[in-house]
Structure 1
Amino acid sequence: MPKTQLARDRLHGNISTLLTFPSPFAMGNMFAGLFKFFGKKDMRILMVGLDAAGKTTILYKLKLGEIVTTIPTIGFNVETVEYKGISFTVWDVGGQDKIRPLWRHYFQNTQGLIFVVDSNDRERCAEAAEELKRMLSEDELRDAVVLVFANKQDLPNAMNAAELTDKLGLHELRGRNWYIQATCATTGDGLYEGLDWLSHQLRNL
């Protein structure tokens, strides 16, 4: 038998054996690949909050892992963030008072709401609470889970998560799945802890 034919037969035999009795390692890789392919979820996330709360800084810290120079968002920024098998399409919408009436145009099909609060801005805490309450009364957001980022925790007079929970009236959100996470957008502290909670909630949808 020619050597080339013999080599071809041996190769065919090895492949047949591998397919018939795959190794645990090969099987593990196969199932991991299948889970990655079929188990990935696409989720629409709306990120809002008053102007200068740090929304855009958070978005690009999650997307790029770095701080970018930002200007007040007049319209919106949208980016896709991949995390733990979930593809988050995050819409960062401007928070200036004249823009807020436009928020409702982004509510449809939103599965998760990230509400960003400047923890150092005590004067506008009541305003933030009112905007959050107004949004959550909208029918299109009735099933959305709510993640509050208590941002700018690096500032000396920042309110902690417990204080902001009271100020925002979060305990009054009956029948609503919510969580508050202390964050610092510039360092990234707390951002992924918040996404961990969000990932867990959205996987159960």
Structure 2
Amino acid sequence: MGQGRSASSPQVILMGLDSAGKSTLLAHMLTGQVMETSPTIGFNVGMLELDKKTSLTVWDVGGQKSMRPNWKYYLDDCKALVFVVDSSDRARMQEAQKALRRVLSDENLREVPLMVLANKKDLPNSMTIREVSTQLDLPSYSDRRWEIQACSALRGLGLQQAFMSVNKLIKKS
């Protein structure tokens, strides 16, 4: 707890249902390119340099149903939770909402800020931020700092801004 921040970069956990776009998002942030991804078994981890002085360690954790019970093992030193949803997949919003509620109920995440990324905003039928926020019941998290932003992992839209915001949320906590 009492260690200086400069030595290590804060841990950020990327979670969400399978096919939300977490691995594509992380790959795009790290390489600037779109890469073919397959379902994540376990996790991917990368060091995200936001600027000369700031980096985040981002853990992209597999989102398939069979993997979700393991999410709790990644929460130990988590400074921010980034929850990615496919904003074009209305049919799974209820499932996403339940998964988010479950992970946020973990003791390790009590003071941890939340960033929701409404991914796939480049698709014509994607929901607005307001719709996603309502579907995930975000207003009910009144005791937690949270933000929601739209992005497209495929196109790289909104990613840099989103992680700059994540960094600000971490600094405020």
- What TM-score does the superposition give when structure 2 sets the normalisation length? 0.93
Distance 1:109 1:144, change over 3 A: same
In the alignment, residue 101 of structure 1 is paired with which amino acid? P
Is 1:174 equivalent to 2:171 in the alignment? no
| Structure 2 unmatched runs, 5+ | none
Aligned equivalents of 2:165, 2:7: Cα separation in 1: 17
User: Relative contact order (alpha carbons < 8 A, sep ≥ 6): 1 or 2 greater?
Assistant: 2
Task: Pick the structure with more helix per residue.
Answer: 1
Determine whether 1:141 maps to 2:85: no
Query: What's 1:192 paired with?
Result: 160
Partner letter of residue 44 of structure 1?
A: Q
1:184 Cα deviation (Å)?
0.5
Alignment of 1:1-205 (within 5 A): 42-84=9-51, 85-205=53-173
Identity %: 41
Q: In the TM superposition, what is the alpha-carbon distance from 1:203 to its structure 2 partner?
A: 2.3
Partners of 1:40 and 1:87 within 8 A in 2: no
Deviation at 1:197, TM superposition (A): 1.1
| RMSD (CA atoms) | 1.4
Residue-pair matches, total: 168
Tell me whether 111-120 or 192-201 shows the greater mean CA deviation: 192-201
Give, as a single letter, the amino acid of the residue that structure 2 aligns with 1:65: G
Cα offset for 1:155?
0.9
C-alpha distance in structure 2 between counterparts of 1:80 and 1:86, whole Å: 10
In the alignment, the residues of structure 1 paired with residue 31 and residue 6 of structure 2 have an alpha-carbon distance, to the nearest angstrom, of: 24
Secondary structure of 2:9's aligned partner = strand
Write the distance in 1 (CA, Å) between the matches of 2:8 and 2:59: 17
Moved over 3 A (4+): 38-41
Report the TM-score when normalising by structure 1. 0.79
Residue 204 of structure 1, CA deviation: 3.0
2:169 partner SS: helix
Q: Deviations over 1:68-91 (max 9, x none)?
A: 110010111011101133221111
Q: Answer yes or no: is the 8 Å Cα contact 1:45–1:112 preserved in 2.
A: yes
Q: What is the identity, as a one-letter code, of the residue corresponding to 2:36?
A: T
Deviation by residue 1:101-145 (Cα, 9 ceiling, x = unmatched): 000010101001000000011001000001001111110011111
Distance 1:91 1:195 in 2: 13
Show structure 1 runs of 5+ residues with no match: 1-37
